[in-house]
A and B are shown apart, each in its own frame.
Chain A
Amino acid sequence: MPFPNAVKRGIPLALVVALIVLPVIDPTSQVMLMLALAKGLAVLGVIVLLQAGQVSFGHALYFAVAAYTAAFVGKATGGGEIIVTLLAGVLAAAVVSVVVGIFVVRYRHIFFGMLNLAVSMIFFSFLEKFYFITGGSDGLSVARPTVLGLSLERGAFEGVLYYGTLGLSLVALFLTHRFLSSPIGQMLRAIKTNEVRLEYLGVSPRSVLLVGYVVSAVLCGLGGALMATAQGIVTPEYAWWIRSGEFVFIAILGGAGSVSGAFAGAFVYEAVKTYAAAFAADIWQMILGTVLLLVILFAPTGLVGLYRSAVTRGDDIDAGAPDRRKREAVS
């Protein structure tokens, strides 16, 4: 059932408008939306790697590295400036990902996933055990930073943070989309389809994957640093493997084939989690697990795939996902 063109273009725009207006109408939703945006950024990072057919079960590492760095920098500079703490967090995630990346890009599939898991578990244990540095399982509190030198009240700060995050997310979405359609993004996809052919073309798959790995870590780091600033506390739970699993989960839920799937998945995930935790506290994991099973078995292209097949076939909604990828996700 094809929709008119205006409607097709209109729906994503309407969603963005809804994200701008919703916290004004219902202030209680702002916290949930903020968390969803921060997680959405991290999931975007996971999706970059999924383009190469690789799945990391340890990307919470970069989430946590950036979050703790933001906390430390904030503490060292007496509250700190939000631009400085965020940049420091992202930079730390990038540096760590280069070091870890040089090692893990030599591996594929399960070994790639497991090695990432191992590194994140090492960092998790470090956070828990070296409590004199990291505050142990109690974590560290993150002071409210200034915004461009201004100290804001709590309400105003949260508003600025939310809309700032929304803006950053849109920019990240656009840049990631451009990255994936660039030559290096295409090569990244070639790792999934046929790595040996890539080598015959004289391209080093390891270097390509390393670039993708660092991009994905930067996105995860940005999400983690924003999350830490929003929550005002960082705990080792940021690096816990369940959280890494959550990112992969959301990517599949939203649709691993396209960048917009990251945020579509994150909003639905946070909403289900929030309401399931409120109304069915004992079985929220069961509900999420069931949702995941249903998506994989009956809608392997995720929410974005469902949306695409509802509006039309072959039309490029976010211009970043040619139909070819939809078929790959199914096969």
Chain B
Amino acid sequence: MNLQLFALAIFDGISYAALVFLVAVGLTLIFGVLRVLNVAHGSFYAMGAYATASVGGAIFAAGWAPWLAFPLMLVAAAAIGVMVGGPVEKLLLSRIYQMEDVLQILVTFAVFMILEDVQRLIWGVRPLFEATALNQLGTVSVFGITYTVYQLIFLPLVAIVVLIALRLGLRRTLTGRLITAVTEDREAAVTIGIDVERVYLITFIVGATLAAFGGALASATTSVVPGMGADMIVLSFAVVATAGMGQIEGAAITALLIGLGRSFAVYLWPELQVLVPYLIMFAVLLVRPQGLFGAAEARKI
């Protein structure tokens, strides 16, 4: 493996990790607060991608300014988060918090199945491709490799901004502190008068928006196809479990680890590409059952 391939693998890994992080951090945030593993998260990712690609395709064909691709991603992600994520929590999940884990996961699995067909009905099965945002930023040469600025600089930058914003938001704002309080101890939060239902709803919408935002960003780099949500949800589960459930910074580091592992596998041993995330997860959980950054839980008798 020469220096150029090595650099290429690192660049691929970083840009991929940025996307995975956005989806995984939403998942881990939702799990941390609601204690529900949200399978429908993959649908939010796919719907964010579809919404961005289809609306983008329409408005750029109508002659709108190409720089609008960036605000469009934010708008599309927020729209999916509020309009799809909101009702899912309010109408469905809010009824099942007292049920067993298994049933909660299955409810989100059912939502996932329903949303898969909703996507098919709205957007059809033909792949969409809309790379205006990617083309807007042009390319850059590093170590003699030409790489798109969008993937090499923009995506990691967005991921870092989201990470810092989430950290500051959770520590400094009132809503963030309420979310943290509910995460730490739900019962205590209720007794001091925190509206837990509202916190759940807000957290779920934020998490869903992050997944949709990941999809919106990904739509510029790849064609949007049916089934992309299923692939992403399994991968982001692997990231979240490896990092430790509910760990935000942990999700960032693990996404990077898995992203790099995956991209090196692409160049060294392509057959292993899909396996690497699971092998890493396996290796980590073997040594640390609670995940890299998770704390061991006390057992109840």
Question: A-side interface residues toward B, CB under 8 Å?
Answer: 50, 53, 55, 103, 106-107, 109-111, 113-115, 117-119, 121-122, 125-126, 128-130, 194, 196-197, 241-242, 245, 248-249, 252, 256, 282-286, 288-290, 292-293, 296-297, 300, 331
Contact = CB atoms under 8 A, between A and B. Distances in A.
A55 B105 contact: yes
A103 to B, nearest CB: 7
Contacts of B289: 106-107, 111
A290 B271 CA distance: 37
B120 A248 contact: no
Nearest to B237: A114
Contacts of B301: 194, 196-197
B238 A125 contact: no
B238 A118 contact: yes
Interface string B261-292: 00000000011001100110110011001000
Contacts of B111: 289, 293
A288 B112 CA distance: 11
27 contacts: A50-B102, A53-B102, A55-B102, A107-B285, A110-B241, A114-B237, A114-B238, A114-B281, A115-B282, A118-B238, A118-B278, A118-B281, A119-B282, A129-B271, A129-B274, A245-B109, A249-B110, A288-B113, A289-B112, A289-B117, A292-B109, A292-B113, A293-B92, A293-B107, A293-B114, A296-B106, A300-B99
* A interface secondary structure, majority: helix
A118 B282 contact: yes
Interface centre among A103, A256, A296 (most CB of B within 10 A): A296
Nearest to A121: B278
A283 B237 contact: no
B121 A196 contact: no
B116 interface: yes
B96 interface: yes
A113 B105 contact: yes
A117 B237 CA distance: 10
Contact of A122 (B92, B95, B230, B279): B279
Contacts of A197: 301
Contacts of A285: 113-114, 116-117
A129 B234 CA distance: 18
Contacts of B37: 110
* B interface secondary structure, majority: helix
Nearest to A106: B289
Contacts of A248: 102, 106, 109
B234 A121 contact: yes
Interface in B119-134: 120-121
Contact of A286 (B92, B118, B230): B118
Contacts of A296: 96, 99, 103, 106-107, 110
Contacts of A249: 106, 109-110
B107 A241 contact: no
Contacts of A110: 37, 101, 105, 241, 245
Contacts of A252: 102-103, 106
Given A55-B102, A122-B279, A125-B271, 6 more contacts: A114-B281, A128-B274, A242-B230, A285-B117, A286-B118, A300-B99
Contacts of A300: 99, 103
A111 B230 contact: no
A241 B234 contact: yes
Nearest to A284: B117
A296 to B, nearest CB: 5
